[in-house]
Structure 1
Amino acid sequence: MKEFLKTFTIEQLMSYEANVCHVARDLSGASGIGAFSWKNADGFPVIFTDSSEVYSTEKFHNFYCEVELSLKVFVAVSNLMVSNAMAWRYSTAQENQKNVNQELCDLYSEMYHSQRYWVMDSGVFTDDEIGQILKAID
């Protein structure tokens, strides 16, 4: 985590971690995400678990029925959802947006795209897992 302190404050990283874990638990129904590590996606953090534990969900609208996914996939999706939400949180494109901050919007947008490329290019996900992740977020 220390390597990301040049870009983010410790409070931002802890908030990011808490949000990713919360979203992953909410989507999967898991009580927690277990052991995880911080990975580097071109200078941006990715919370990663290689857990193959499988959970069912109906919360992804891009899947037309209940789907079973590994916790590894849920956590990858959660990273992308949180970084995307943070970019929009600070975006000027939102009507009546308070706390607009283009610098933070750009930072989280770049983080999202770096994470997305990492998912596709890191070699830690199978082609099927990459397909599931992209289907869930697109």
Structure 2
Amino acid sequence: MQVEDFNEIVSVYLKKLSKSHKTEIVVESMQENNFGWVYTYNTKEFTNNKDSLNRLFGQGYLVIDKSDGSLNTVDLTIEEEVIGIDVSQKYMKQKYNIPIPNEEKLKLKRRKDATDFYKKLEKRSIINRWVSKISVFLKKI
């Protein structure tokens, strides 16, 4: 199969998706990887004008596998994107059960970072409340 064949498979899928969403959905980008082709897609209005009112959210990626020509959807959570897991790692885990290197360590580090951040905010909030109380007291003197 050629790239044109894979593009046609994606095109047929997006036509069906367009009908269900009642708006034209088109390929936004395509990237070749060692395992296949990764497509991003969005509404035609967003792709042409970058008008966020017409943007799809949470649609994930389409992946055509070179080995078997199959069309696959891959969704990355916000947490996975933030900790640096990419679509190729997620796809290989999803389809071939290949573990993502250090996935649990990355998730634990992210959670620890988030916890530390909220602790700092909480301390800052307590300090701000005391500063506010002191300034009110000083104004009364």
Instruction: Identify the TM-score tier after normalising by the shorter chain.
Output: 0.3 to 0.5
Q: Which has the higher contact order (CA 8 A, sep 6+)?
A: 1
**Higher share of residues assigned helix:** 2
Structure-1-length-normalised TM-score: 0.34
Q: TM-score scaled by structure 2?
A: 0.34
Q: Which has the higher strand share?
A: 2
Q: Which has the larger radius of gyration?
A: 2
